[in-house]
Structure 1
Amino acid sequence: MDGESLLGGIPYPWEVRRRHVDTRFMAIRFYNTDSGMETEYDPRLESIPIPMDWEPIEFEWAPSDPINCRKFRNKVTGAIINSDPRLFPEALLERGILIRTITLV
């Protein structure tokens, strides 16, 4: 569902496309049908500020990373994560998104 439960629908003129990133993996890309621009970054997140303690960093993708990955560094601790801090549970709750914890057995 392309993250619609967390971020809402893909806004016009964007659409989701899947692309081979190498011979083994498909990745999601976002395509602007008006401009022809394609990006790996979700346009729905562009209007949401990155928390002040975090900054996006350039990196070389490794097999241990999720296929659709963006890395961030914490400016205070130096910790590097391969997920987006705008999608942390606290950040979702601050934006009024109801979340539930489930246990998979």
Structure 2
Amino acid sequence: MGHDISGYNKEGKEIAYARFSMGNYNATILYSLLGANNYYAGVSGSGGSSTFSIQQIEKALNDYNQLYKNGDSLSESDILTWDKKQILHFIQNCLLTAKIEGSVRVYFG
């Protein structure tokens, strides 16, 4: 069990991926940034998917930047640092696709 969150372009090609173990609470950060808490099913995603607009992904990126505006803290664990990076890369890749295609589809497994 775990959270496997994937972003897809209109052709169905995976363009973004984030993986969190079932006990990793940092998964909720990505769900929250995407405004997708209803897809969070505890130990994994619900298995549902949703299409996000450019504006929604831009908001997620802006919210991410606000959340981590003070940069990395020396007290942060390696897991949080890794998760912060994978969340950022996920959002950036989704935004790139959304800017090209107008939207991006995200699956929450």
Task: Calculate the TM-score normalised by the size of structure 1.
Answer: 0.25
Q: Greater Rg, structure 1 or structure 2? A: 1
